[in-house]
C-alpha cells in the first residue's frame, strides 16, 4: 500500500481509539496537516511532552505537540509532520499555526511583561539558573531530540545542549549587572542618570542547524533583562524549542514569559511577528536573503532588529604553520553538523609552498571520517537536513569541476545509508568564480585555493558581501595581528577552529548582519537607554 494510504489508515485507527471519526489529511509543503476533528480529540491531556521524543517510544505510538503559549501546550486545528533526516521516520506531529496563533502568543507575552519587568534581577537570575540546571540534567534526552530532528551525531548534539545551557548560565549571572550611569550635570543643582529598561515583547526566529543553542542565545538575554519572548523555531526542528520551554516552566519561569509557536509556513510567521505592533524587537538567525525581507517588514513599526545572517568564511593557512594543527582546526571548524553552520569555512586558502602537502593530509583525514546516522556510535558526519541541501552541494561541486577543479575525495551520495547522506568531499584548484567560493554551500565540502602572499590572500578573503567569521593559521605573531585587523569579519580565529562561546560576542559585519549575541554586549539589543535629569533645587535656609 502507498505510504500515504498507510498513514491515513493509522490516523483512522487512532481516531477510532479516541472515539472520533471523519478525519482527513491534506498535503501542504513538507508535511501533512491534521483536520480539526483529530485536533479536538487530542485535547484534554492527549498532547505529549516534547522530551518524550528524546526517549524510546512505544511501537506504533505517535507523538503530538502543541504550541507552547502562556505556560502550557495549546492544540491546533492542524498538525504537520517533523521527520528524521537520517531515515525519514516521523519524529512528531507538531501544531501548525496561523495568524491567530501569533496573536495569542504575543498577547500572552504582553500580559506577562508587566509583572516580569518588575521582578527583581536576582529573582530572574535564580529562575534562569534553575533552567540551566534542568537543561544540564536532561542533556542526554535533549541531545537525542536534536539528533532525531536535525540528524547531527549524538555526541555533537549533547555538546550543543551544553552550549545552549551556557548562554542561560551566562545571562543568569548578567541579570543583576544591567548597569546604567550617573553623569555629572552641566550646570545647576541637577543630576543626570542613564538607566537600562527592557523593551517589551521580543520575537526570536531561530534556524534548524542549532535548534537549541540559537534559541537560548536569544531567549536568555531577553529574559535576564526583563523582556518576554515569542519564539518561532524552524519548521524543520521545532521539538527542541518546545522541550526547552517545558523545562523553563518546570524551572518556575512564569506563564507567558517564554512562548513557542510552530508552523510549516515560515513566511507567515516572519511577516506576522515583524509587523505586529506589540512586538518591540525581532532577533533573527538565518540567511541574508530572509534577513533583508524581515528588516523591511520591521520598518513599518520601526521595530528594533538584531540579525545574524549568512557567512562565507575564509580559512587561511600560511606556510609557516603546523600542518597537522591546521588540518585539525579546519576539521573542527568545517565539519560540525556536516558543514551546515554559518561560521564554517567556505574558502580554504593555502600558501603555495605547502599546498600539495596540505591537500594530501586533508584528504587522508576526510577519507577516514565515519558517516552514518547520528545515533550510531563513533559517527562524525550525519545526514544533511533535506533533499534541497543535497541538491545544492552537488550543484556547487559540479560547477567547480566544470571550471577546472579536481575532486580528491568524496562527491558521492551514500545511498546505502540513505538519500541525505553525502560523502565528505575535498576539491582542489577551485577557481574564485566557482559557486563554492561565492555562495554559502552548507555541506561537507572543503574547497582549496592556492595563494602566494599575505596581501593577495587578504584581498581575496575580503572580496565578498559577507563578513561573519575568518580563520588564520600562522606562527608569525606580527602576521597574525595584521591579518586579524585587516580581515573584514566580526570574528577571527587565529590558530583556533572553534571560536564561539557564551562569554564572547558573536556576530558579523557587512551583509552578515549586525548586533552581538552572547558576552556582556549581548544585553544591548534587549534594553533601551533612558536618560533622566533630576533637578533637586538649592537647599532652603
With 0-12 CB in 10 A as exposed, 13-18 as middle and 19+ as buried, what is 532?
A: exposed
Could you give the percent of the chain with pLDDT greater than 70? 90
In this prediction, residue 16 has a pLDDT band, given cuts at 50, 70 and 90, of very low
The active-site residue, picked from 308, 423, 440, 517, is 308
In this prediction, residue 47 has a pLDDT band, given cuts at 50, 70 and 90, of confident
In this prediction, residue 541 has a pLDDT band, given cuts at 50, 70 and 90, of low
The 10 Å CB-count burial string (b at 16+, else e) for 480-495 is bebbeeebbbbbbbbe
Q: What is the separation, in whole angstroms, between the first and last Cα of the chain?
A: 97
The residue ranges of DSSP E strands in 22-177, in sequence order, are: 25-28, 31-34, 64-65, 67-69, 72-74, 79-83, 90-95
**What domains can you pick out in the chain, each with its CATH number?**
3-95 (no CATH), 108-309+508-530 (3.40.605.10), 313-494 (3.40.309.10)
In this prediction, residue 230 has a pLDDT band, given cuts at 50, 70 and 90, of very high
Closest-CA residue to 113 (of 279, 275, 269): 279
Closest-CA residue to 461 (of 346, 302, 339, 366): 346
Residues 105-120 have a mean pLDDT of: 99
Q: Who contacts 255 (Cβ-Cβ below 8 Å, separation ≥6)?
A: 70, 71, 72, 108, 112, 249
Q: What is the pLDDT of residue 234?
A: 98
Contact 326, 317 (CB under 8 A): yes
- Secondary structure of 178-211 in the HEC alphabet? CCCEEEECCCCCEEEEEEEEECCEEEEECCCCCC
In this prediction, residue 183 has a pLDDT band, given cuts at 50, 70 and 90, of very high
* pTM, 2 dp: 0.91
262-312 tens-digit pLDDT: 999 999 999 999 999 999 999 999 999 999 999 999 999 999 999 999 999
Question: Does 308 participate in catalysis according to the annotation?
Answer: yes
CA dihedral 393, 395, 400, 405 (to 10 degrees): 70
In this prediction, residue 27 has a pLDDT band, given cuts at 50, 70 and 90, of very low
User: From the centroid of its chain, how far is CA 438?
Assistant: 22
Cα separation, 461 vs 463, in Å, equals 6
Cα separation, 389 vs 420, in Å, equals 8
Residues 441-469 have a mean pLDDT of: 98
Q: What is the pLDDT of residue 2?
A: 40
Q: What is the pLDDT of residue 533?
A: 95
Could you give the percent of the chain with pLDDT greater than 90? 87
CA dihedral 519, 524, 526, 528 (to 10 degrees): 160
Per-residue DSSP letter, 356: H
Phi, then psi, of 205 in degrees rounded to 5? -110, 120
423-441 tens-digit pLDDT: 999 999 999 999 999 999 9
Cα separation, 166 vs 70, in Å, equals 25
pLDDT at 30 over 70: no
Q: How many CB atoms lie within 10 A of CB 394?
A: 17
Closest-CA residue to 215 (of 174, 254, 151, 261): 261
Closest-CA residue to 313 (of 328, 297, 293, 330): 330
Averaged pLDDT score across all residues of the chain: 92
Residues 32-51 have a mean pLDDT of: 51
Which long-range contacts (C-beta less than 8 Å, at least 24 apart) are formed by 122-127? Answer: 122/175, 122/176, 124/175, 124/223, 124/224, 124/226, 125/172, 125/173, 125/175, 125/176, 125/224, 126/172, 127/251, 127/252, 127/253
Amino acid at each position: 500500500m502507498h505510504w500515504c494510504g498507510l498513514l491515513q489508515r493509522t490516523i483512522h485507527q487512532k481516531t477510532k481509539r479516541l472515539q472520533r471519526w471523519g478525519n482527513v489529511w491534506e498535503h501542504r509543503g513538507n508535511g501533512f496537516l491534521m483536520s480539526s476533528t483529530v485536533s479536538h480529540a487530542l485535547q484534554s491531556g492527549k498532547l505529549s511532552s516534547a522530551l518524550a521524543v528524546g526517549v524510546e517510544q512505544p511501537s506504533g505510538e505517535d507523538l503530538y505537540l502543541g504550541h507552547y503559549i502562556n505556560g502550557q501546550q495549546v492544540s491546533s486545528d492542524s498538525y504537520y509532520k517533523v521527520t528524521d533526516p537520517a531515515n525519514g521516520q516521523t519524529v512528531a506531529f507538531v501544531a501548525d499555526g496561523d495568524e491567530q496563533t501569533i496573536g495569542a502568543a504575543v498577547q500572552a507575552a504582553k500580559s506577562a511583561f508587566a509583572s516580569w519587568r518588575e521582578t527583581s534581577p536576582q529573582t530572574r537570575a535564580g529562575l534562569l539558573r534553575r533552567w540551566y540546571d534542568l537543561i544540564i540534567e536532561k542533556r542526554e534526552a535533549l541531545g537525542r531530540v536534536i539528533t532525531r530532528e536535525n540528524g547531527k551525531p549524538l555526541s555533537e548534539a549533547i555538546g550543543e545542549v551544553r552550549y545552549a545551557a551556557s548562554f542561560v548560565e551566562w545571562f543568569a549571572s548578567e541579570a543583576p549587572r544591567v548597569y546604567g550611569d550617573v553623569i555629572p550635570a552641566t550646570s545647576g543643582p541637577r543630576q543626570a542618570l542613564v538607566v537600562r529598561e527592557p523593551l517589551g515583547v521580543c520575537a526570536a526566529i531561530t534556524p534548524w542547524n542549532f535548534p537549541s543553542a540559537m534559541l537560548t542565545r536569544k531567549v536568555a538575554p531577553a529574559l535576564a533583562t526583563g523582556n518576554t519572548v515569542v519564539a518561532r523555531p524552524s519548521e524543520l526542528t521545532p521539538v527542541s524549542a518546545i522541550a526547552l520551554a517545558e523545562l523553563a516552566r518546570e524551572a518556575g519561569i512564569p506563564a507567558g514569559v517564554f512562548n513557542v509557536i510552530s508552523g510549516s509556513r515560515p513566511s507567515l510567521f516572519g511577516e506576522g511577528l515583524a509587523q505586529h505592533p506589540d512586538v518591540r524587537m525581532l532577533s533573527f538567525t538565518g540567511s541574508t536573503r530572509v534577513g533583508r525581507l524581515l528588516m523591511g517588514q520591521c520598518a513599518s513599526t520601526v521595530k528594533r532588529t538584531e540579525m545574524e545572517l549568512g557567512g562565507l568564511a575564509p580559512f587561511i593557512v600560511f606556510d609557516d604553520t603546523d600542518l597537522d594543527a591546521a588540518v585539525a582546526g579546519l576539521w573542527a571548524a568545517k565539519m560540525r553538523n556536516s558543514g551546515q553552520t554559518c561560521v564554517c569555512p567556505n574558502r580554504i586558502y593555502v600558501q603555495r609552498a605547502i599546498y600539495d602537502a596540505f591537500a594530501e593530509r586533508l584528504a587522508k583525514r576526510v577519507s577516514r571520517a565515519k558517516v552514518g546516522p547520528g545515533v550510531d556510535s563513533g559517527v562524525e558526519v550525519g545526514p544533511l537536513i533535506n533533499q534541497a541541501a543535497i541538491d545544492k552541494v552537488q550543484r556547487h561541486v559540479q560547477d567547480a569541476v566544470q571550471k577546472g577543479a579536481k575532486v580528491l575525495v568524496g562527491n558521492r551520495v551514500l545511498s546505502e545509508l540513505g538519500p541525505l547522506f553525502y560523502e565528505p568531499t575535498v576539491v582542489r584548484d577551485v577557481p574564485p568564480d566557482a559557486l563554492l567560493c561565492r555562495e554559502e554551500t552548507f555541506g561537507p565540502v572543503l574547497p582549496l585555493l592556492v595563494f602566494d602572499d599575505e596581501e593577495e590572500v587578504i584581498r581575496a578573503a575580503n572580496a565578498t558581501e559577507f563578513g561573519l567569521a575568518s580563520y588564520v593559521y600562522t606562527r608569525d605573531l606580527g602576521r597574525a595581528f595584521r591579518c586579524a585587523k585587516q580581515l573584514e569579519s566580526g570574528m577571527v580565529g587565529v590558530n583556533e577552529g572553534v571560536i564561539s562561546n557564551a562569554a564572547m560576542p558573536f556576530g558579523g559585519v557587512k551583509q552578515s548582519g549586525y548586533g552581538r549575541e552572547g558576552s556582556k554586549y549581548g544585553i544591548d539589543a534587549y534594553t533601551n537607554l533612558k536618560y533622566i535629569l533630576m533637578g533637586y533645587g538649592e537647599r532652603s535656609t
